[in-house]
Amino acid sequence: MSKKEIIDAMADAAEITKEKAGSALDALTSYIEGTLKSGDEVNFAPLGKFKVTDRAAREGRNPMSGEKIKIPASKVPKFTASKQLKEGLNPKKKK
């Protein structure tokens, strides 16, 4: 699903203009990014948790030449789905 499709769906569901839906989505993504940059987690209960994890430095290979390269340590965003979202995707079957 693209950003445009998300904006269209938000606008339809909330009965607002696409411009307002786009502004709301941009505000949400900016808030999440800013919070992660400050080192905090974002717990968005019905969806899941966003947090930053450290990725250690490692050795890789250039796929074109096969030459070994050093990949520096970095911080990466991580998303963990909530129990509610997981259960929604995998409903329990009645016996």
* 71 shares its domain with 35: no
- Percent of residues, the chain, with pLDDT higher than 70: 98
Q: Count the domains in the chain.
A: 2
* 67 shares its domain with 95: yes
Find where tokens 């499709």 sit: 5
Residue 18: pLDDT over 70: yes
Q: Rounded mean pLDDT of 33-46? A: 94
Q: Which of 27, 30, 10 is nearest to 1 (CA)?
A: 10
Residue 53, φ and ψ in degrees, nearest 5: -120, 155
* 35 shares its domain with 1: yes
Residue 94: pLDDT over 80: no
pLDDT at 79: 96
Residue 93: pLDDT over 80: no
* 71 shares its domain with 91: yes
* 35 shares its domain with 54: no
Structural domain for 73, as ranges = 49-95
